Amino acid sequence: MDAKTLDLNDPQYYINRELSLLEFNRRVVEQAKDASTPLLERLRFLCIASSNLDEFFEIRVAGLKQQVAYKAVQLGPDQLSPAEQLKRIGDLAQLLVAEQYRVLNEVLTPALADEGIRFLRRTEWNARQAAWVKRHFYRELLPVLSPIGLDPSHPFPRILNKSLNFMVSLEGTDAFGRDSAIAIVQAPRALPRVINIPREYATSPYEFVFLSSIIHAHLGDLFPGMRVTGCYQFRVTRNSELFVEDEEVEDLLHALEGELHQRRFGDAVRLEVAFDCPHQMTGLLQHEFDLGEADIYRCNGPVNLQRLMAVPEMVDRADLKFPAFTPSRPRRLPSNADFFGVIRRGDLLLHHPYQSFLPVVEFLRQAAQDPDVLVIKQTLYRTGPDSPIVKTLVDAARAGKEVTVVVELKARFDEEANIELATRLQEAGAHVVYGVVGYKTHAKMLLVVRREGKQLRRYVHLATGNYHLRTARQYTDFGLFTCDNAIAIDVQRIFHQLTAPGRAGKLKKLLQSPFTLHPRIIELIGREADHARRGRPARIVAKMNALVEVQTIVALYEASRAGVKIDLIVRGICALRPGLAGVSENIRVRSVVGRLLEHSRVFLFDNDGAPEVYLSSADWMGRNFFSRIEVCFPVEDKRLRERVIKEGLDLYLQDNARAWELKSDGSYHRVRTGTRVRDAQQTLIDQLSEAGPTD
């Protein structure tokens, strides 16, 4: 097919987004197998993969099941029907789950035991340990367990989403003559799933027992006079997407509060059972939860691997964890810095977590305490419990500042926390708004208006990541402080859009979804293609979490065909197929999976030697371009622009330690080139953290 007739919308040119997301989870599991990663961190990676898979089923698989139920016909660019996707997902997910348990049982558990960290089975307890476990059961577990026998007066209980449960088979009759053959035991969520055996009873430095083992060993005490003939763990994953339609409710906050309760009991989408659970028992559960055979996942170990995340925190072995590092502060920002004076002297870039997030908190705190500051406006998407950001905004409101906070109530799985912080802010006198109906507010913006002599000056912080202290230590993100007047006025206009009705005003420097970001990205890609056609140097480098939006992919294909060299660093989902002859042979795609979660969005357009660099809160996805409020901002200072290119792009293109390359068939292969190991994240830790130089 020649260049004129090539159909870039052909489904063969696209990778299914759900299958791509499963591929990302496979890369995470591979980190658990990597012997160069510290042992306890390998266990963490296994837990992260389990957590990711939970959300995948709660949201993505649940959505596909609904499409099948409603006979939806809308297809993605790959043209796979929902039913076809579910079939392929089931096949791949079964293999992935089996591999997770194989890695746990055959690789990590023996390696941990060699280091004196043991998970003891019931058959391995000695007499003293068994006696301690029994005391623990009577003291800590028996008072909170409520076994339920299944009979006409005790129907099958409601099972919470992702809770640990046991199906117990029994023989005999009880004191009332009942002969219930099956009972259900639900483990309260407050109970830890992994229990540390006290040192005085342990034969190794660290010994643990699973809650499931303790309950299993003492089931007879829950059913006196009955004979327990079997006990099998199970766990059900439910549809956890919220269905509140903003346009159809008068009070979004109260509507969400009601919906959050229902999330715990949504339709079942997956059933995990113990690997030795008899088919009759599994069939009963399958019928109860209205699931098919393909929805059953047999687990050779704890049904919730994510709960093992507690183990590294309980083991004091620094040699089995990533070396700790202390985020640095820029030299321009000593602990007693006048932030306003520093920012007036030039833009300031922070690269988290290598550089500390605390300056952001300190800037806000200084603004809250400064008598010359009149206005503070901020977007909050995720902040975490007991956030100092929220506390400072509360203090500012109580001090008489004009405080406006745009709280995104529908930040997935943070809805409850965001409702709570919105209430706190309102009680303090802050203006709290929930954004624009039908559009999630995902932009990361902070605006401070300060009186300086006879004028008002605006100070701005823009970022690629959330105002969340914990994730700022785990996610890689950029943040920019500036008092550039054009940028600051743009930010002010966006806040006005969020809080008051009116038409979108023209922005001078910022790109904004759902208005200018997508068309401008398409235009910038097209400009590089024009340069290539004219024989000029043309290059695009873009880093993001996901790439699925079809028009953007088509534009990249067309740029590749024009001769533009394109490097994409896509952490997770990528629907673009690189390396296709005549379509994408000039496109390389890589993913970096390391100790830190790659989260920054960085876009470089070479522009015939006059490079333009943007940072953004938005991935190249339809939802980010068209149904969210996002901000993309230029890095105009030459020195900072060069920093972003080096730290945010070049080091990742050179990485041969944690990088994976996407092949045209949708598979990923580990990048192993040269004799010198290049680890982008470790290089940045060495260069930017407190141990290294900083600017």
pLDDT tens, residue by residue, 238-271 = 998 765 555 444 556 665 555 555 656 789 999 9
**Can you give the CATH number for the domain in which 666 is found?**
3.30.870.10
**Same domain membership, residue 654 and residue 521:** yes
**Same domain membership, residue 525 and residue 491:** no
pLDDT digits (tens, 9 = 90+) for 614-673: 999 999 999 999 999 999 999 999 999 999 999 999 999 999 999 999 999 999 999 988
Q: What is the mean pLDDT of residues 351-367?
A: 97
pLDDT value at position 693? 44
Instruction: Answer yes or no: is pLDDT of 324 > 90.
Output: yes
**Same domain membership, residue 488 and residue 365:** yes
- Top mean pLDDT of 224-233, 431-440, 549-558 is at 549-558
**Same domain membership, residue 662 and residue 550:** yes
**Same domain membership, residue 616 and residue 492:** no
Full domain range(s) for residue 448: 339-503
pLDDT value at position 1? 37
In a domain, residue 148? The reply is no
Higher pLDDT, 243 or 129: 129
In a domain, residue 269? The reply is no
pLDDT digits (tens, 9 = 90+) for 490-516: 999 999 999 888 776 799 999 999 999
For residues 255 and 330, give the distance between their C-alpha atoms in angstroms, rounded to a whole number: 44
Instruction: Answer yes or no: is pLDDT of 421 > 70.
Output: yes
pLDDT value at position 268? 95
**Same domain membership, residue 520 and residue 628:** yes
pLDDT digits (tens, 9 = 90+) for 538-595: 999 999 999 999 999 999 999 999 999 999 999 999 999 999 999 999 999 999 999 9
In a domain, residue 91? The reply is no
Domain end position, chosen among 471, 503, 535: 503
**Same domain membership, residue 647 and residue 499:** no
**Same domain membership, residue 373 and residue 493:** yes
Amino acid symbol at 464: T
In a domain, residue 471? The reply is yes
For residues 147 and 168, give the distance between their C-alpha atoms in angstroms, rounded to a whole number: 9
pLDDT digits (tens, 9 = 90+) for 370-398: 999 999 999 998 887 689 999 999 999 99
pLDDT value at position 416? 77
pLDDT value at position 254? 60
pLDDT value at position 383? 84
pLDDT value at position 255? 56
**Same domain membership, residue 517 and residue 494:** no
Query: Could you say which of 352, 442, 461, 531 is catalytic?
Result: 442
Is 442 designated active site?
yes
pLDDT value at position 224? 87
For residues 507 and 634, give the distance between their C-alpha atoms in angstroms, rounded to a whole number: 12
Domain end position, chosen among 450, 480, 503: 503
pLDDT value at position 72? 77
Structural domain count of the chain: 2
Domain end position, chosen among 448, 473, 503: 503
For residues 124 and 430, give the distance between their C-alpha atoms in angstroms, rounded to a whole number: 58
In a domain, residue 555? The reply is yes
Instruction: Answer yes or no: is pLDDT of 41 > 60.
Output: yes
pLDDT value at position 474? 95
Higher pLDDT, 176 or 367: 367
**Same domain membership, residue 661 and residue 601:** yes
In a domain, residue 181? The reply is no
Q: Are 328 and 688 in contact (CB under 8 A)?
A: yes
In a domain, residue 469? The reply is yes
**Which backbone phi and psi does 577 adopt, to 5 degrees?**
-100, 115
pLDDT value at position 242? 64
In a domain, residue 526? The reply is yes
pLDDT value at position 71? 85
**Same domain membership, residue 422 and residue 443:** yes
In terms of Cα–Cα distance, which of 631, 647, 636 is closest to 611? 636
In terms of Cα–Cα distance, which of 14, 17, 193, 24 is closest to 96? 24
pLDDT value at position 401? 95
Q: Residue 65's pLDDT band (boundaries 50, 70, 90)?
A: very high
Reading phi first (left if > 0) and then psi (alpha if -120 to 50, else beta), residue 76 is in beta
Task: Give me the DSSP letters along 509-524.
Answer: S-EEETTTHHHHHHHH
Instruction: Answer yes or no: is pLDDT of 426 > 50.
Output: yes
Q: What is the mean pLDDT of residues 520-541?
A: 98
Q: Residue 213's pLDDT band (boundaries 50, 70, 90)?
A: very high
**Same domain membership, residue 552 and residue 427:** no
